[in-house]
Structure 1
């Protein structure tokens, strides 16, 4: 199990780095576009007729790639694991957590399937820039694939915790703890 975890540690760091920088660049671009839009209202130097399309593209990518980054680092919001403390048997506690991870895995599989179908079926283009809508929707299956991969990783970790509960919390450590 330690070998499995060590293989993913480097991969976690790379994926997290890429997703963080994608989000930073997208957010900076969004900030510049919004600023330009405000300035152009007072000093109309040129038209931003394409503004809505690019903002829509950036927002979609920011939301989905940001969600994937949070999924990788286990930084997404949740109601918390308040039930585990009431399960006295350690293995049953990990079985409970495994069931949660399996539900997440199922959801990510469904999300990947339907977001991929949506992206592939999109045949139209945007009005101003004539960008294919597939480009707009591509962030969904890409981020879903990343989250599906990490859901599978989490299932394997929980299975490892059921097999060896003594090392359970070591294997369940957040990826960013190992990356920094």
Structure 2
């Protein structure tokens, strides 16, 4: 059951940034064509680009985090003996969890406190900021699962992270 939920989350985490990227590409293409041929100007363009970019970056980061495809410097754990490498990986994971707790909390606070509306489309700016706590919570869940695996399965600790 959990693996099905994980696969579904993985599909969603990939679909959102892919959609945002495609939409950004189309909007930029349309904007360039419209400005080149002096067809029209889009006053709402910047607002939509900001929102799409925020969601693409933060949810894309969560997708990379889930699949461990993000940039990692693993030279130290790989060069240490297994027991020492495990301790380094646990400490790194605890630091990551701590950061993600702070990011999620302050991202949620920012989202809740954002009362402003975008000037043209009257969209709540909190809608843009909501990507921060959502991605932070997602990454936190996966980091906690990694930490539990590190603590429970010391023989496989070189494979985790």
Structure 1 range deviating more: 114-123 or 39-48: 39-48
Aligned to 2:76: 83
Structure 1 range deviating more: 42-51 or 55-64: 42-51
Aligned to 2:54: 60
Counterpart mapping for 1:29-178 below 5 A:
29-79=23-73, 81-88=74-81, 90-162=82-154, 165=155, 167-168=156-157, 172=160
* Deviations, residues 106-142 of structure 1 (Å, cap 9, x unaligned): 0000000111101100011000001011111111111
CA contact (8 A) 1:125 1:132 kept: yes
What is the TM-score when the length of structure 1 is the normalising length? Answer: 0.82
Runs of 4+ in structure 1 over 4 Å off: 167-170
CA contact (8 A) 1:116 1:141 kept: yes
* Residues 157/39 of structure 1: CA separation in 2 closer, same or farther (3 Å cut): same
Structure 1 range deviating more: 108-117 or 9-18: 9-18
Aligned to 2:9: 15
In the alignment, the residues of structure 1 paired with residue 95 and residue 29 of structure 2 have an alpha-carbon distance, to the nearest angstrom, of 42
In the alignment, the residues of structure 2 paired with residue 61 and residue 69 of structure 1 have an alpha-carbon distance, to the nearest angstrom, of 12
Q: Which has the higher contact order (CA 8 A, sep 6+)?
A: 1
Shift of residue 45 of structure 1? 3.8
What is the total number of aligned residue pairs between the two structures? 161
CA contact (8 A) 2:24 2:52 kept: yes
Gaps of 5+ in 2: none
Question: RMSD across aligned C-alpha pairs, in angstroms?
Answer: 1.8
* Deviations, residues 77-122 of structure 1 (Å, cap 9, x unaligned): 122x11223332x333212211110110000000001111011000
